[in-house]
Amino acid sequence: MSEVKTHYRTCNLCEAMCGLEIQYQDREVLTIKGDKQDPFSRGHICPKAVALKDIFEDPDRLKYPVKKTENGWEEISWDAAYGEVVTRIQGIQQEHGKNAVGIYQGNPNVHNTGAMLFGAGFVKSLKTKNRFSATSTDQLPHHFAAYYMLGHFFLLPVPDIDRTDFLLILGANPMVSNGSIMTAPDIGHRLKAIQERDGKIIVIDPRKTQTAKKADQHIFVQPGKDVFLLLSIIQVIFKEGLVQLDRLGAYTVGVATLQEVVRPYTPEKTASITGIPAEITRTLALDFAKAEKAVCYGRLGVSTQEFGGLCQWLVNALNIITGNFDEEGGAMFTLPAIDNVAFLAQKGSLGSHGRWKSRVSGQKEFSGELPNSVMAEEILTPGEGQIKAMVTVAGNPILSTPNGQQLDEAFSKLEFMLAIDIYINETTRHADIILPPTTGLECSHYDTVFHTLAIRNTSKYSEALFEKEDKQRHTHEILQELTSRLSGKLNNNFTPEMMLTGGMQMGPHAKDGLSFDKVKKEPHGIDLGPLTSVFPNRLFTKDKILQLAPKVFLEDMARVQVIFETTHKDDTFPFQLIGRRLLRSNNSWMHNSYRLVKGGNACTALIHPEDAATLGLKDGEMVTIASRVNSVKIACEISDEVMRGVVSIPHGFGHDKEGIRLSIAQAHAGVSINDLTDEKCQDVLTGNAVLNGVPVGIVVCD
Ligand SMILES: Nc1nc2c(c(=O)[nH]1)N[C@H]1C(S)=C(S)[C@@H](COP(=O)(O)OP(=O)(O)OC[C@H]3O[C@@H](n4cnc5c(=O)[nH]c(N)nc54)[C@H](O)[C@@H]3O)O[C@H]1N2
Ligand SMILES: Nc1nc2c(c(=O)[nH]1)N[C@H]1C(S)=C(S)[C@@H](COP(=O)(O)OP(=O)(O)OC[C@H]3O[C@@H](n4cnc5c(=O)[nH]c(N)nc54)[C@H](O)[C@@H]3O)O[C@H]1N2
Ligand code: SF4
Ligand SMILES: [Mo]
């Protein structure tokens, strides 16, 4: 046995980028703790970080290629696997056209350096228009608003929470999620610091979440109705003459148009729709506008709902008209060492909308991708251009996208499927070949995405803790080999490190002496300072004009108008279903760590006590919850955390399917909320999935 050693790295499981201090001996992890010397995360970690050890050791995890045969899964060589994948994909494309192969890229791609640097080349080599990703079940409306308002789909505003006096949160629960499109490790202390400097935190959420409990005020809102609240807040600010664009005034257009749009939406008129009394909305608007530094931050709960696009537009608009955009303490933009916003712009990839449409229901592409909601129909509907083969890369859409059962059926009908994944799970069980890359502690890591979405400019590189086994392959190796074989081009065998070196040389901090070599020498990471104002230089619109009221949003207001003018009650599905993130889950794929799932069934339906009384329901009893597409049986948890009429179920469960290899997760199966969510329910404007505010009915099981 050799001596005990210490390794420092970034946790790549979620967006927080926490620094880890890992004690290890030979190939065994002894402890995983927070790295107190990481200037950004300051020693903070959550329970998931320790599970990196479990993933590394998990006997269920795949390490070498497997092929489905009559006798079950059989290990095959990398060369044979690559050969067969390319033959099958090319065969299907020759017979049925390029679009007969579809691709879905899941969430862990954005947490993986190899996937981020080499994924685009691989997708391109498939030459298909049927591209999907977790984006359209998540943050698509943020990209949509950025594209139309700022001219670049990846120029996403980040709330400057370390310097704000007033944080208004809609539909986010950072105390559990650890922040999203807001990389802010140690979020608990950062939120507390706002209050310690006499600032305020207000949370708008249909559930009194862990974040709402820490806030100065929590306001319940009817699921899916935030758009009315935002319109009213802005209406009050205009009415009271509190609009103040400051520096932005010189290059912002659309102020008068916005004023016209919001005019009818007084707090009095929207109160019955949002469930928020007019005085509360009015006070909120006045306090926000009068605060020295304020920021409105709307995340998953307002993105994955019926008016996701409009909500993200109005969140930006609110920050803009109060002088809190691109200003200290407001919504700001990073200047990262690897500037992927600038790289995309150089390539002309500022985003796109409607360049093509989906074959069956005519949904528009956004930045090269179609909405996930059409994936099943594109596979199931015969005709020219039908998807016959799918490639999934680090994705589990059968558990993570609406109407999972329909997608499950669709995947079972494919002629061929390749999964680049580390587990045989609900989705990858349909694959013919699975290519498993190295993961977690076996990989070097640089967060190309989350340094771009962080609340400070920071840079950090982590070496792999453990050398991979000879027979394993890294993500970048797999992607480059497949790209080369599919496109017939030479494999350059680039490494992520070569790309990072070049990327940093071209980045905005090179002039100050920052280089990849320098970053490599600082295992705790480098702090490059607080965010700075970047406009108008970093605007990508024509003439660098900030568009406050783009036409697409104005047109979509017609849908809002309909609800504003009519009252609608659904007797079949009187409840509204919303999601719930759990501290010990990471979407669908970390339930195979015993330390994360022990401690009882977490997959329950939260129901308000008065609703429970009306239904004659006791705590822990089983209920059947039904939506248009399906029904599930689940134990209820009576709780006044949720509003009346709202039911909350966590996502990522439902590990009871045949043929998966996740022994611990299978013993804690739960049900999938996405067997209830409806692929036909979507934000019509952006195509994003509606995961919150899905109409359901509840009956007590016999
Ligand atoms: N109802 C409801 N549904 C939701 C949500 C919700 O709030 N409510 N949230 C949505 C959101 S925000 C997201 S991002 C999506 C996520 O949706 P997906 O990305 O489809 O699902 P994940 O559960 O993240 O699945 C990750 C997959 O990657 C594999 N994997 C893990 N690590 C690696 C790796 O290093 N390399 C490779 N190649 N594979 C790896 C896992 O085995 C798993 O198959 O779910 C969405 N679905
Ligand atoms: N522990 C843990 N951390 C995670 C993940 C995980 O699965 N587990 N997933 C990661 C991923 S992929 C992402 S994208 C981020 C997401 O991070 P967050 O954006 O913080 O997402 P959630 O925690 O799902 O919080 C969404 C909130 O919206 C509320 N909500 C639902 N409907 C509505 C509505 O109509 N209006 C309003 N105002 N609120 C509503 C919900 O009650 C919930 O509290 O988390 C990341 N971090
Ligand atoms: S908060 Fe996120 S990055 Fe930090 S330790 Fe937990 S999973 Fe890892
Ligand atoms: Mo996500």
| CATH assignment at residue 402 | 3.40.50.740
Do 189 and 305 fall within a single domain? yes
* CATH number of domain containing 314: 3.40.228.10
Pocket test for ligand 2, best of 205, 221, 372, 672 (most atoms within 8 A of CB): 205
Cα–Cα distance, 385 to 370 (Å, whole number): 14
Q: Give mean pLDDT, residues 34-42.
A: 98
Name the residue among 561, 505, 521 with its Cα closest to residue 8.
Answer: 521
- Residue-level pLDDT at 252: 98
Task: Kindly state whether residues 474 and 515 are assigned to the same domain.
Answer: yes
Considering the domain architecture, whether residues 525 and 391 belong to the same structural domain is answered as: yes
Q: Is 142 in the pocket of ligand 1 (CB under 6 A)?
A: no
Q: Is the pLDDT of residue 346 over 80?
A: yes
Over residues 494-532, the pLDDT tens digits come to 999 999 999 999 999 999 999 999 999 999 999 999 999
377 is a domain residue: yes
Q: In this predicted structure, what is the pLDDT of residue 1? A: 79
Chain segment 14-30, per-residue pLDDT in tens = 999 999 999 999 999 99
In a domain, 534, yes or no: no
The ligand 3 atom nearest the CA atom of 586:
7
Please say whether the beta carbons of 380 and 413 come within 8 A.
Answer: yes
Ligand 1 site, residue 422, Cβ cutoff 6 A: yes
- Rounded to the nearest whole angstrom, what is the distance from the C-alpha of residue 341 to the centroid of ligand 3? 25
Identify whether residues 629 and 608 lie together within a single domain.
yes
| HEC string for 168-192 | EEECCCHHHHCCCCCECCCHHHHHH
CA of residue 134 to ligand 4 center, whole Å: 7
For residue 1, what are its two tokens?
């046995």
Is 86 a residue whose pLDDT tops 80? yes
Report the DSSP beta bridge partners of residue 526: 459
In a domain, 151, yes or no: no
- Quote the pLDDT of residue 567: 75
- What number does the ligand 1 atom closest to the CA of 401 have? 47
Q: What is the pLDDT of residue 179?
A: 98
Quick one: which ligand is closest to 208's CA? 2
- Of all protein residues, the one whose alpha carbon is nearest to atom 45 of ligand 2 is 177
Closest atom of ligand 3 relative to the 16 alpha carbon: 3
What atom in ligand 3 is closest to the CA of residue 14?
A: 2
Q: In sequence order, what are the residues at sequence separation of 6 or more whose Cβ sits closer than 8 angstroms to the Cβ of residue 586?
A: 13, 14, 48, 652
What's the CA-to-centroid distance between 233 and ligand 1, angstroms? 35
Does 92 sit in the ligand 1 pocket, CB within 6 Å? Answer: no
- From the list 147, 170, 189, 135, the residue with the least C-alpha distance to 16 is 189
Counting residues of the chain whose pLDDT is more than 70, the rounded percentage is 100
pLDDT tier, 701 (very low <50, low <70, confident <90, very high otherwise) = confident
**212 shares its domain with 355:** no
Q: Do 346 and 242 share a domain, yes or no?
A: no
Q: For the segment 129-158, what is each residue's pLDDT rounded down to a tens digit?
A: 999 999 999 999 999 999 999 999 999 999
Q: Please indicate, yes or no, if residue 46 is contained in any of the structural domains.
A: no
Q: Does ligand 3 come within 6 angstroms of the Cβ of 126? A: no
Residue 219 banded pLDDT, cuts 50, 70, 90: very high
| DSSP per-residue string spanning 512-581 | GT--HHHHHT-TT-EEEEE----TTTT--SGGG-EESS-HHHHHHHHHHHHHHH-----SSS-EEEE---
Position 129 scores a pLDDT of 98
- Residue 69 predicted with pLDDT over 80: yes
Q: Reply yes or no on whether the pLDDT at 683 is more than 80.
A: yes
Q: 292-304: per-residue pLDDT in tens?
A: 999 999 999 999 9
Q: How many CB atoms lie within 10 A of CB 555?
A: 10
Q: Are residues 362 and 470 in the same domain?
A: yes
- Do the domain assignments include residue 26? no
**Chain segment 433-446, per-residue pLDDT in tens:** 999 999 999 999 99
Which of 181, 297, 581, 608 best tests ligand 2's pocket when mutated (most atoms within 8 Å of CB)? 581
Encoding tokens for residue 276? 């928020």
pLDDT at 333 over 80: yes
CATH number reported for the structural domain that contains residue 615 in this entry: 2.40.40.20
Whether residue 115 is found in the same domain as residue 199: no
Ligand 2: which residues within 6 Å by Cβ? 14, 107, 138, 170-174, 176-178, 180, 204-207, 209, 221, 223-224, 226, 299-302, 305, 578-579, 581-583, 585-587, 692-693
Question: Where are the alpha helices (H) located in 47-170, listed in sequence order?
Answer: 47-57, 78-96, 113-126, 140-150
Q: What is the pLDDT of residues 246-266, one digit of tens each?
A: 999 999 999 999 999 999 999
Predicted confidence band of residue 566 (pLDDT cuts 50, 70, 90): confident
Q: Considering only CA atoms, which residue is closest to atom 2 of ligand 3?
A: 14
Within-domain flag for 348? yes
Number of domains in the chain: 3
What pLDDT is stored for residue 288 in this prediction? 98
Tell me, yes or no, whether 12 lies in a domain: no
What is the extent of the structural domain holding 104?
Answer: 66-138+340-529
Does 81 lie in the same domain as 108? yes
pLDDT of residue 312: 98
Q: Is 178 in the pocket of ligand 3 (CB under 6 A)?
A: yes
Q: Does 548 have pLDDT greater than 90?
A: yes
**CB distance 420 to ligand 1 below 6 Å:** yes
From ligand 1's centre to the CA of 596, what distance in Å?
16
- Tell me the β-bridge partners of 584: none
Would the CB of 437 count as within 6 Å of ligand 1?
Answer: yes
Same-domain check for residues 513 and 369: yes
Q: How many CB atoms lie within 10 A of CB 17?
A: 28
Q: Name which residue sits closest to atom 6 of ligand 3, judged by CA.
A: 46
169 and 290: one domain? Answer: yes
Containing H/E element for 461?
strand 461-462
Query: Has residue 702 got a pLDDT over 80?
Result: no
Q: 652 CA distance to ligand 2 centroid (A)?
A: 13
- Please indicate whether residue 259, judged by its CB atom, sits closer than 6 Å to ligand 1: no
Ligand whose nearest atom lies closest to the CA of 298: 2
pLDDT of residue 569: 77
Over residues 214-235, the mean pLDDT reads 98
CA angle at 270 for the pair 265 and 275, rounded to the nearest 5°: 160
Percent of the chain with pLDDT strictly greater than 90: 98
Condensed to tens digits (0 to 9), the pLDDT of residues 630-654 reads 999 999 999 999 999 999 999 999 9
Residue 385 lies in a domain: yes
Question: Is the overall model pTM greater than 0.95, yes or no?
Answer: yes
Query: What value does the mean pLDDT take over residues 341-352?
Result: 97
Contact 387 CB / ligand 3 (< 6 Å): no
Q: Is 587 in the pocket of ligand 1 (CB under 6 A)?
A: yes
Give the per-residue pLDDT at 410.
98
- Mean of the pLDDT values across residues 57-61? 98
Same domain for 554 and 607? no
Q: If you measure from the C-alpha of residue 47 to the centroid of ligand 3, how many angstroms do you get, rounded to a whole number?
A: 8
Tell me what pLDDT residue 244 has: 96
Q: Please state, in angstroms and as integers, the Cα–Cα distance from residue 168 to each residue in 318, 326, 507, 577, 652, following that order.
A: 11, 17, 33, 23, 28
Q: Which ligand places an atom closest to the C-alpha of 586? A: 2
